[in-house]
Amino acid sequence: MAKRISQSSVNWAALAERVPAEQRGNLATFKVRSDGYLRRVLANPPEPPKINWAMYKQTIPVAGMVDTFQKQYEALKIPYPADTQTALVEAQWAEVKKAIQAFVQESNASIASYEKEIAATKALLPYDQMTMEDYNDAFPEQALDPVNRPTFWPHNPEEQPGYVDPDQPASSH
């Protein structure tokens, strides 16, 4: 015999925290329906009522009919459905846990690299106190270097000789 349900196993408060605000009405409707179903289940007795076969034997005039029904009724066993989905759900949960752990590890690695960038930026001399030499030391690839990499005014990449627009498809001449 299956275990009798006596109360809902759903943590409604924890579930409500995870539901988006626009779906709270649907959650409330679902909770009302779930509670109503639980009340209907609890209103019925855990076991079906016993059949008074003796009364039927006295009332029904056909000989042997009640005995036949009683044998058939007692031989009838309705099996409780086998749980075929829990293993699948547990396997899916294991996969999701692995994905969550991988995401957390990637996020922690990103956080560590961003914290290093923040520390490096905080270690820089403030821009309003920086000279051109300080800027050249801090950012050699971005600083103007008229000796080794001369540029033409207005010193932006589009105005320099040999510039190729990265947004344009390469022309095949």
The per-residue pLDDT string of the chain (173 residues; one tens digit each, 9 = 90 and over) reads 556 777 778 888 999 999 999 999 999 999 999 999 989 988 888 888 899 999 988 998 888 899 999 999 999 988 888 889 999 999 999 999 999 999 999 999 999 999 999 999 999 999 899 998 999 888 888 888 888 888 888 888 888 888 888 888 876 55
> Nearest-CA neighbor of 16 among 3, 6, 26?
26
CA atoms within a 13 Å half-sphere pointing along the CA-CB vector of 15: 12
Residue the block writes with tokens 């066993």: 77
Contact call for residues 56 and 66 (beta carbons, < 8 A): yes
Contact call for residues 37 and 10 (beta carbons, < 8 A): no
